[in-house]
Structure 1
Amino acid sequence: MALTALLSMIGLRPVTADASPAWLNDLVTGPCPALFTLAVQGTGQSAPDAPVKADTGMLSTVLGPALDAARVLGASLDRAYVPYPAGFGGAVPGGKEPYAVSVEAATTNLKDAAQRVLSDCPATQLGFVAYSQGSHALSNFLEAVGSGTGAVPAGKVAAAAMFGSPTRAAGSSVFPGSNSEDPAPPPGTDGEHVARLAAVSAPTPSGAGVGPVADIAPNYGALTGRVASFCQPGDLACDAPVDAPIARAVVNVAGQADMGGDPFAAVQSIGLALASTSFGVAVDAVNEDISIPKNSLENLSIAPKKTLSQRFAEASDPRATPPTGQEAIAALTKVGLVAVNAVVSVAKKVITPQTIAEVSAVGLANPAAAFGVLAAKTAQAVVDLVPPATTRRVVQQSFDVVRKEVTANKDLFDLATLTSYAGTAAAHGAYGSAVVTSGGDSATRFVADWLAAAGADLADGATPNSSGAPTTRSAVSSTQPTTSSPTSSSTPRTTTSLVPSAATTTSGAAAQPLR
């Protein structure tokens, strides 16, 4: 490690023996920079074989200007794009992997990329940028790092920015969990260049990210202040209505499904996801919400601990813990005992000496009439099974269940709320145009300047790194942006996603609708 650190300090990169996967070897191709930024594109803008140095897609509007600004400041900055499926089950052009699988692959590749960069360049600090689906993966990665359980030390992360993140907490500020509207300086620096950035005055929508509840990030632990999450009002990816848990459930189920290609396979995939979710909801609801003292229908009572839509939103998370065998058996036993008791009650009322006599009187001459006698007796027994008082109570409780569902999802029934999301595709693609600073900069421009400023602060003389070893200013490696032909099969693809509207264009690169 001492030799590796020494080589890095003088701007040389040690040769690593590990050659798999191949794209990891293409991350650091020049002298070790003071700041190395890893980017995770949105849905349809990457692929497992996407070139890591091609400046395409929405994030090229961040890293291209960042490299230009770094050269002006004399900062030491380099970048690479993390390849991953970027799929949504085939529902949109791009990878056919379900969304949940794609996000997991992105998170894994991001871990590998961060570790490789620091292995090759121990004195380097890391920057991160991500868009939409890529932000989901980056948020999961940063949460782990900030809690001390991540792939890299928190002290090696200088800056991170997300656009349209599905993990944004409701009403979160641009710097989640921070009381400041400005980014914190990179570790080990005085932040002189970062402090000169234009003040951020971005909107803070009241909604939340549409991702699974377990992934919503109110802060980033030790990284708080160095992580920004930009969200345009009306962007459903990060500003979904809070009072609409059923919408989150729909997205979760869609994210597990293979919805492209063969329609029969799509139906089967969605059916499996729904079946798994419904089973978990049913078990929880029976065990927690339905009370049947003495296993008698006369005592039936419904008292929901949560709304069904809340249960669906939680159970539809692909990482949700399924019901245990004991919980499932308990629910089945409760239902089964009630059914048995109901059958016994009906039998006692139907199979009586009087009924047998009536059936016998007409049965031989007219079997249909005999069946009618039994049917009439059975119908009356079922009516008598649940007393009127119990019926009224259950009906009232069932009405309360429906009322609570409507209340819990009130934003889905509010015309004003729905109208505010009519332009969600435009909002999701506006991060390169909407002004978010006092100086009139867009979110992408601000982040580009932030990365360049962080690189300049890190490159200004010797500063301590996370391991305590000094870092010295290495050769400027703000590489000229490259482009890739869209005809190449390995080029990140551009697409729309959940919202069918056309993409908007920002600074010459495609800015995509909700993905």
Structure 2
Amino acid sequence: MADPPVSTQPPATRHRRVSRSGCCAALAATALAAAFAPGVATGHPIDAASTFNLFIPGTWETDASADPAQETGALRPIADRIRHDHGDSAVVYFLPYVARAFDNGESYGSSKATAVANAAQVLRAFADDHPGARFTITGYSQGADAAGDLAAAIGNGLGPVAADAVLAVALLADPRAGTSGETTVGPRPDGVGIADPRPQGMGSLVGRVSSICDPDDLYCSIDKRRNPFLGQLGTALGKTADEATVAADEAATFATTIASIDVVGIVRGFESLPRAIADGDLQAAHEISGDLNGRLRPLVTLADAVDFEQIATVLALIPDKTGFTAAASVLARALAHVDFMKAADLVGRIQEVTWSAVGPVAVRAGAKTLPDSTPTTPADLAHLGRELASMASRVISPSAKADTEMAVVAPDLSSMATSVTEISARYAITNPRTLIHDAVSARDFYEGDSHNRYGSFIVDDQGRNAITWFADWISGRIAGA
């Protein structure tokens, strides 16, 4: 997984995403200015502050319009402890950002990129106004993902503040746990974060970054070879976990590819081509078959590369609040009932024959317009016409097997494809692969409660839980500065 630059917005190809991220950054800047106003939000004079303590909440714990002076979520007790121990000398700031994952059209990657960008802006602004300030950065879950990326950038000289100004970075349930240069506190997880460790490491911040992860928490400790959802998927498919991993990736490839194919245009081609042949308009038949051939090519390639029935099964198992994977599953199951190799071959033959229909033979065949001429027979054309009519009916309305629910959702291929397109537009799904990978990961996270019980997760022989340990450590780092 590539690390997003800390000073950039999400990819420019996601126009709606960029606009939303820009809005979030602007809101963060406004909130920052409000928090720094004397007597407003912080409750103490900012000029007296010696530390700026940035907290980045986890998924669904905040939003883009949240008040940064209001502690929230799992990190709240740590912030309360800092306020209690250090009073006016410590600014506490809870970062407003989207904090979503695969719902409301917002992918996890886009949401985290917003958090990194907003956090970088907030830190840079405070450092510019308070040159001698020191910083702590604390994140939970998605917030730890963003905080860790920010820390890695700072430690490698690419961040918004100097590394020597950072006192402590606390990462709770970091999806990129296992990054070189961080100190693991408490029981050591068997795996690494679901998003993989940061390859550049923590750089010069080594010794100042602490990470806590419950070994049972799949956000921050997962052996991908033993992924529970992939195990379940493997059972459903009759495959090993490794093969199920490949199947899930193929489902993501299918969803991305099918979203770019004009399935509705293909259906219309199969509706109009038989009519053109029946009317004897071979010029139109040639043009339609040429266009249809081009539209079919990526679908033929896809059909040759994946098993549509298996794809349908995988997509049906994936949790997704938008309904995209369910609609794509129905479409995949319908496509499994169409022989696209044969359909493409038939269309190609029609394209050839319509170029060769000439003179009296073409007239006897009922032709009204004539392309370039080479001999053919009426029987050739009649045979292709019958084949095409049969194939077209199977493309336009694929016959569902008795054990499928395909026809319940949509009566024809065009309607199925339109459902996928409409859901994509409604939820601004521009990268189906990301949505599917996020959803696959989310299925595992919902299986247990380890991710939400850090207040009772004991990490040392003094009996301190994760929250208390971080509160003690950060407060001690501030006191010793």
- TM-score normalised by length of structure 2: 0.48
Normalized per residue, the structure richer in helix is: 2
